[in-house]
């Protein structure tokens, strides 16, 4: 391996950790190199050292966005971890039914599957009129996936876990094996690009529920704690945090109170 190429790789990996909180362990170097190869071709960079030079130039936002997008994992699908979503439907949403407005944040929203899934679950559980007062914000560090979320068009494979009745009710066929979320559901969700490491978070109004799933394990322990504390600060007293079942946070020493697997609550 050429020394400059290794030095370039190390600079890129350090930038991802410092700027984005995305950590690639030594055992995942080939995975990151494979993902960066697409960026190399796109920007006609000869090697990772040249790519790193462009990345560290703050005026070159295009390369920065491309590296962020390549390094972040965007494989997702509708109704992921149904057991956690069932708890949201049965134990959280009914407690919000009488609110004049309900604000939910899908942090690390990827292509919007999670945000739209939650909107559909809310409509099923509390009726379509509940959507009139429901606001769901989806954020992600990757600009391309935010654009895909706003479009709301998905390949059939991303809907493999969608109940058939909900597929018929909330999606419209468009193109070959592609489906678009209905306007009724799309109107509930707004998507924006945001870096979870850019703290404190710029929200003037608190959320009742925050989803932060399948992202924390890409952060080191310090960033996990800081992210969870920052989410706590923008969640109203008594509000909920929903994590992945594979991301236990009980031992991190944050203020979140564990309710059940994947469900936490801020003290009232």
Residue 90: DSSP 8-state: I
- For domain 82-265, the CATH superfamily is Vaccinia Virus protein VP39 (3.40.50.150)
Give the model confidence (pLDDT) of 216-246 as tens digits: 877 889 999 999 999 999 999 999 999 988 7
Q: What is the rounded CA–CA span in Å between residue 165 and residue 258?
A: 33
What are 85's two structure tokens? 């979503």
Same fold, 3-71 and 82-265: no
pTM of the predicted protein model? 0.81
Q: What is the rounded CA–CA span in Å between residue 59 and residue 46?
A: 20
Give the model confidence (pLDDT) of 151-201 as tens digits: 999 999 899 999 999 999 999 999 899 999 999 999 999 999 999 989 999
Instruction: Put residue 162 in one of left, alpha, beta given phi > 0 → left and psi -120 to 50 → alpha.
Output: beta
CATH assignment, 3-71: 1.10.155.10
Q: Which residue from 4, 50, 22, 62 is spatially nearest to 227, judged by alpha carbons? A: 22
Helix axes 48-55, 3-15, angle to 10 degrees: 30
For the chain, the structural domain boundaries read 3-71, 82-265
């Amino acid at each position: 391996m050429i020394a400059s190429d290794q030095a370039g790789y190390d600079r890129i990996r350090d930038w991802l950790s410092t700027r984005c909180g995305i950590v690639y362990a030594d055992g995942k170097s080939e995975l990151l190199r494979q993902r960066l190869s697409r960026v190399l071709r796109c920007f006609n960079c000869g090697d990772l050292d040249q790519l790193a030079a462009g990345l560290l130039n703050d005026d070159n936002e295009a390369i920065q966005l491309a590296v962020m997008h390549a390094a972040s994992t965007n494989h997702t699908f509708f109704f992921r971890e149904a057991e956690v979503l069932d708890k949201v439907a049965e134990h959280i949403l009914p407690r919000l039914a009488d609110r004049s407005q309900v604000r939910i944040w899908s942090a690390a929203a990827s292509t919007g599957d999670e945000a739209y899934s939650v909107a559909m679950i809310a409509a099923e559980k509390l009726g379509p009129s509940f959507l009139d007062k429901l606001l769901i914000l989806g954020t992600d560090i990757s600009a391309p996936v935010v654009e895909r979320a706003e479009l709301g068009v998905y390949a059939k494979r991303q809907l493999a876990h969608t109940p058939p009745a909900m597929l018929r009710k909330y999606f419209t066929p468009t193109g070959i094996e592609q489906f678009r979320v209905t306007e009724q559901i799309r109107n509930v969700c707004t998507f924006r690009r945001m870096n979870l490491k850019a703290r404190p978070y710029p929200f003037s109004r608190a959320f009742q529920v925050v989803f932060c799933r399948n992202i924390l394990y890409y952060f080191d322990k310090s960033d996990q704690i800081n992210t969870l504390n920052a989410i706590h600060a923008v969640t109203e007293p008594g509000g909920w945090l929903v994590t992945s079942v594979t991301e236990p946070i009980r031992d991190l020493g944050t203020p979140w109170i564990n309710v059940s697997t994947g469900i936490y609550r801020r003290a009232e």
